[in-house]
Chains A and B, each alone.
Chain A
Amino acid sequence: MLQIKNLHARIAEDGTEIIRGLNLTVKAGEVAAIMGPNGSGKSTLSYILSGREDYEVTEGEILYNGENILELEASERAAKGIFLAFQYPVEIPGVATMQFLKVAMNEQRKYRGEDELTTPEFMRRVKEAAAELKIAPEMLRRPLNVGFSGGEKKRAEILQMALLEPKLCVLDETDSGLDIDALKIVADGVNALRSPDRAVIVITHYQRLLDYIVPDTVHVLYKGQVIKSGDKTLAHELEANGYADIIEAAA
């Protein structure tokens, strides 16, 4: 589903190179965890996948279902099924949550040549998905992410993911700022979306989230490269011994 080949990328504004020859393959149905110390390029990778313009790819390519997506706008990538759950969901005063959800769902459908959802159908889907994630209707009546607690913001991200039904889900530090109950709700939401035709990339600092979303593969990112890949036992190893040994071995 996703093939990243020798990717090099830098911050557009100051030219700082963040990703330095990254290779990664994720298959349909797979849950891949990306771990790594602070500053290794984890969040940058998530932004580059979703099309944020603050980064510049200088070399390499990203193939999504065989198509190079680097020239596509963020909105086109989303419509093609790439979803980024933000580490820090953005507050937008003045944009109603429901209006945002409806516009996002219908714009994606329009792009794919599908009919727009009728209002009752839209309402039904939101109601169902919100109930699964224990999201109160009052929360949906507020402006987008405004006044949401940290946990509410993360749940709202998973709600969007459930409604938009993406093919490639990228979760950027979705566990940060969550207590254990909220973490379980979020993990359940993600697990419910696991399917043979969908891939999930879980970016995280800690093993904790991976107890609830069990990965098929684990990749260690350091200085903009994947320096080691393995199965879920690699995550346990990291938890026990830290990154130092692996970094040393790779050097």
Chain B
Amino acid sequence: MNMQQAIKMTAAETALVDAYTAQIGDLPGDGSVLSVRDTLVHELKTAGLPTRRVESWHYTDLRTLLRAVPAADPAAFADRVEALVAGATVLAVRNGNADLKSHAPEGVTIRSYTDSLLDGSAAAGLAVLGSDDAIGRINGGLVRGGLELAIADGTELEDPLEIQLVQSLGQAHTRFPVSFGANTKATVIERHLSTNSAESLVSSVSDITVGEGADITWIILQQQGAADTHLGQIRFDLAKDAKLHLFLINAGGKLVRQEIHGKTSGEGADFKLRGINLLGGESHTDVTFTLGHNVPHTTSTEIIRNVVFDRAKGVFQGKILVAKDAQKTDAKMACNTLLLSDDADLSAKPELEIFADDVQCGHGATVADIDHTQLFYLMARGIPENKARAMLVNAFVAEIVEELDDEPLVEALESVISAWLEKHA
């Protein structure tokens, strides 16, 4: 008997494999796509979900934490919600089904990802990033749809594009390959929502390439329900002088893993990650980030701010790799945490792996409670303690939001944050 098959599958593993088996013949894909899917699901079956023994999953033992997987319900309906900011073009994806009727702004081509599965052009992109890429594996095995966007060279979008993923229940697996042409300028909002309290599982992979001289802001706003599992991954590749400002807000979900994997491929590329994790209840939220500075003269800064209440657990893993030839790399990573309850927990693991010798790289992590001098100052002006605390927590994360330099967007995100804090503080 084969040793690998000796693993006793958990309920969640069985449910994922069953979901695949049940859909054979129905999952979109040509021969090449189906063969990739088969491999991925076979790996899932033999290796199982990752445990803490897999280094990149050390703080998020998915095999233990993912207790059950809700079955897909093809008849389920999810409402479309209003755009985060007025004027945005909403590309709705409801319970995994992309609505292709949206009117695309000039310079933007929208294609159904299902079509790319059917004609086989999606096959290469389905490959996992490594043997520990559980999200890529689950998503690649089960993905049915999504959107493929191409933004033509020189296009400057005035209003944001909002990819709006609304999940009411069950499971959905979607993908979003997006290519930004040279010298494009755009803001994309990837927004994950849940419309009710039913349990759901969502996996979503965004795969973006940023062309020469492009200047892109990509926002991931995750606001799923307290019973939801969110497995998100974004991959990016930056060409010469390309700029990507990736802004992540986690403000929901029960079990959340958001992975960010990127590389700089052209000199002058600049990457900025700003992350806000608002964690409460019994939730578990993991942000795992890797960035390869692969060529000389590229820059990156990463700032993560965590606010942890109740019995919530947060994880930040950040790894910056500087290749041997990537001289003059400038990379700085910081992870700051406000722990607001004795039972709250946060694990931070910043790492640098540097093979070049002429670089400027640094990282730091802090964990603190509310500053008592600041709290007293506010109270001495007549602001009651609860309100003063909320103001200080808000201030801790507001600094980062204000960097966005887009007033309607800043206001919208600030109201998401204050609504969350009002509910949890």
Interface residues of A (CB under 8 A from B): 50-54, 73-75, 78-79, 83-84, 86, 89-90, 92-95, 100, 103-105, 107-108, 111, 143, 160, 164
Contacts and interface: CB of A to CB of B under 8 A. Distances in A.
B374 A90 contact: yes
Interface in B155-171: none
Contacts of A78: 379-382
Contacts of B398: 94-95
Given A75-B385, A90-B373, A94-B398, A51 B391 contact: no
B391 A107 contact: no
A53 B392 CA distance: 18
B420 interface: no
B364 interface: no
24 contacts: A50-B380, A53-B372, A74-B379, A75-B381, A75-B383, A75-B388, A78-B379, A78-B380, A78-B382, A79-B382, A83-B380, A86-B377, A90-B374, A92-B377, A92-B378, A93-B395, A94-B397, A95-B392, A100-B381, A103-B391, A107-B382, A107-B384, A107-B387, A160-B381
A128 B397 CA distance: 32
A75 B384 contact: yes
A159 to B, nearest CB: 12
Nearest to A108: B382
A25 B421 CA distance: 44
B399 interface: yes
A86 B373 CA distance: 11
B394 interface: yes
**Of listed A73, A75, A84, A103, residue having the most chain B CB within 10 A:** A75
Which residue, A86, A89, A107, has most C-beta atoms of chain B within 10 A? A107
Given A54-B372, A74-B376, A164-B381, 5 more contacts: A51-B379, A94-B394, A95-B391, A100-B381, A111-B384
Contact of A53 (B376, B382, B395, B397): B376
Contacts of A94: 394-399
Contacts of A108: 381-382
A52 B376 contact: yes
Interface of B is mostly: helix
Given A93-B399, A94-B394, A94-B398, A75 B377 contact: no
A21 B163 CA distance: 68
A79 B379 CA distance: 10
Contacts of A86: 377, 380
A51 B395 contact: no
A104 B377 contact: no
Contacts of A164: 381-382
Contacts of A95: 391-392, 394-395, 398
Interface residues of B, number: 23
A50 B373 CA distance: 13
A160 to B, nearest CB: 7
A79 B385 CA distance: 13
B383 A104 contact: yes
B391 A74 contact: no
Contact of B387 (A52, A53, A54, A103): A103
A201 to B, nearest CB: 15
Given A92-B374, A93-B395, A95-B395, A73 B385 contact: yes
Contacts of A105: 382
A90 B395 CA distance: 14
A69 to B, nearest CB: 13
Contacts of A53: 372, 376
Nearest to B393: A94
Nearest to B377: A90
A93 B397 CA distance: 10
Given A92-B392, A94-B395, A94-B399, A104 B381 contact: yes
Nearest to B400: A94
A142 to B, nearest CB: 12
A116 to B, nearest CB: 13
A84 B399 contact: no
Contact of B382 (A52, A92, A111, A143): A111
Contacts of B376: 52-53, 74, 90
Contacts of B384: 73, 75, 107, 111
Contacts of B391: 95, 100, 103
Nearest to A101: B381
A50 B375 CA distance: 13
* Central interface residue in B382, B387, B391, by most chain A CB within 10 Å: B382
Contacts of A93: 395, 399
B30 to A, nearest CB: 52
A169 to B, nearest CB: 12
Contact of A104 (B382, B394, B397): B382
B379 A103 contact: no
B381 A73 contact: no
A51 B383 CA distance: 13
Nearest to B373: A90
Given A90-B373, A94-B394, A74 B399 contact: no
Contacts of B392: 92, 95
A185 to B, nearest CB: 21
Contact of B379 (A73, A92, A100, A143): A73
Nearest to A52: B376
A200 to B, nearest CB: 16
The 4 closest A-B pairs by CB, nearest first: A94-B395, A78-B382, A108-B382, A74-B379
A95 B394 CA distance: 8
A200 B104 CA distance: 66
A49 to B, nearest CB: 10
Given A90-B374, A92-B374, A95-B391, A84 B396 contact: no
A93 B400 CA distance: 11
